[in-house]
Structure 1
Amino acid sequence: MGLIGQIFGMGGTAKQIGEAVGGVAEVIVGNRAERDAAAAAQITGAVSQFEGEFASAGALWFDRFVNGLNRLPRPMLALGTLGLFAYAMAEPAGFSTRMQGLGLVPEPLWWLLGAIVSFYFGARELHHQRTRTAVTLARAATAAVKSADPAPAATALAMPLLAPETKPAVTETRAEDPDFNAAVEEWRRLGA
């Protein structure tokens, strides 16, 4: 390649043209590595902020008691179902009498029971999933900040995490006009 470059006289010129094109492309597109580093620093800063917001203040004895109480229904349901099988084998006549009694329960009541149980376990699972996610993200951010170079963390803390507050263009409200819509008025004023 060096010989061909010398023959055509473009040895250093081709390199300079390549660097110039790379510089122009970087101006237009931007440096991806720098963008990724800035995005990572911003995410690290946001997660470290979440760490402070979602940090547990320490569970009191009542919180621990209620958490323990909330852990009882699932094992009780599982053991109760196994107990029904044992009861059916031990005393089939009594079991069939009780199952006939359950057959008399109206269907809407079963739907209500299903909804209550579903919402109870669903809400409980959602609460614990949110708690686990917040704690995991907070720990990951702390580990990333402690192990990383302090410069990106300082950059992330210096970056604004939220958009600057802007005052809405339409501030007046017309209480006497029930059809007034501030968003539509602003849209009309902007000529859209």
Structure 2
Amino acid sequence: MGLISDVLAFLFGGSRNALRETAEIFRENAENGAERGLVLRQQAMVQFGDEFKALHKGAFDRVMDGLNRLPRPAMALGTLGLFVAAMVDPVWFAARMQGIALVPEPLWWLLGVIVSFYFGARHQAKVQDLQREITATMSRTPQVVENLQTLKALRSDVVGVADPGTNAVLAEKAGHPDANPALEDWRRKRVA
């Protein structure tokens, strides 16, 4: 009994734990690792908080911060608005795009430079490609208007528009629904 207690005291005795210390050489102590991670996260949050503290910002600084946040959402919402306008009133949209087609090329270059400077990594080739695409889209406008007129002529809200008329075969088919084996089976089981 004394030998076992001496071995256990050697391994686990005193204020040391030789087995734990040996294991920590190969594997991190989870509790100590969690404490270090907590301290690291707390320090990072304090640093982030310090960066966003309002250090006596004046009205001008707040206004400029607000203005700096406007262009991206304004451009995104404006683009979505153009898509909606193109679907709601294609002729109105086409008239506006004709006006854009008349903008001189140097002004497109200037707009491209401004947008490139503001957003970064934008190239003038993209602006020129956009102008070509707008021109190609504008050339399709008459066809779109014609298609809309054709679709409007096909639409009818008048009662009896689906009347088969004098076609006897079609009238016969309309009076007798198609066979539905699943429905017939369900009806038989319901009656039984």
Same fold by TM (over 0.5)?
Answer: no
Q: Which has the higher contact order (CA 8 A, sep 6+)?
A: 1
Larger radius of gyration: 2
TM-score range, shorter chain: 0.3 to 0.5
